[in-house]
Amino acid sequence: MKSPMPITSQCVVALTWTLKDTLGEELDVLEEPVEFLIGGTDLLARIEEALQGHEAGDTVDLHLEPEDAFGDYDDSLLFLEPRHLFPEKIEEGMGFEGLPAGCNPAAPNDRLFFISDIYPDHVVLDANHPLAGIALRISIRVHAVREASVDEIGSGSLGTGFFRMDVPAVEEDEENGGSPPQRPTLH
């Protein structure tokens, strides 16, 4: 009989979790197991550390301070931009990869920006991660552990990062008057 494989620095784990803030409000639930590469960029370093040595069937409960999760909230990542530079139909929470032409040239171009407020003449954009500044509690269940392939290790990711901030493009439509694709909200 083969003994269970413990989590090591370069393996693949299948996990589910429940993520809450410190007041107990549920922020995310991963109900179906998803595979993540340990030793790559898929998970937060503190989560990888806590999983080391665990096996399929184990549960790991963690408290993550902002510095171990998504960092402290940074006011310098708030930008007030002219409303006319954005598509007609926008809403709070909508995300953009980079800012439209004409916006603050000092804004980082390697970040996702989320609309936090909309005023008649301006839009407030926030480049902080939505969970920045928040202490988190996460309960992780390990469903499976396997060796990582050479290709998986070489890529450094299985493409399923912890709270990955990808914002898919929305197709152009007649209502936008042929304007560039908008970025929808994450959820």
Q: Which CATH architecture group holds 75-127?
A: Beta Barrel (2.40)
Residue 1: per-residue pLDDT: 60
- Alpha-carbon span 161 to 156, nearest angstrom: 11
100 φ, ψ (degrees, to nearest 5): -60, 160
Cβ atoms of residues 6 and 142 within 8 Å: no
Q: State the CATH class of domain 11-71+133-155.
A: alpha beta
What is residue 97's predicted lDDT score, i.e. its pLDDT? 87
pLDDT score, position 132 = 94
Record the pTM.
Answer: 0.75
Of 131, 141, 160, 140, give the one whose Cα is nearest residue 69: 131
What pLDDT does 163 receive? Answer: 63
In three-state form (DSSP H/G/I as H, E/B as E, the rest C), the secondary structure along the chain is CCCCCCCCCCEEEEEEEEEEECCCCEEEEEEEEEEEEECCCCCCHHHHHHHCCCCCCCEEEEEECHHHCCCCCCHHHEEEEEHHHCCCCCCCCCEEECCCCCCCCCCCCCCEEEEEEECCCEEEEECCCCCCCCCEEEEEEEEEEEECCHHHHHHCCCCCCCCCCCCCCCCCCHHHCCCCCCCCCCC
What local confidence, expressed as pLDDT, does residue 11 receive? 95
The residue behind tokens 């954005």 is 86
Domain boundaries, the chain: 11-71+133-155, 75-127
* pLDDT, block means (10 residues), the chain with 187 residues: 82 96 94 94 94 97 96 95 93 88 88 93 94 96 95 87 52 40 33
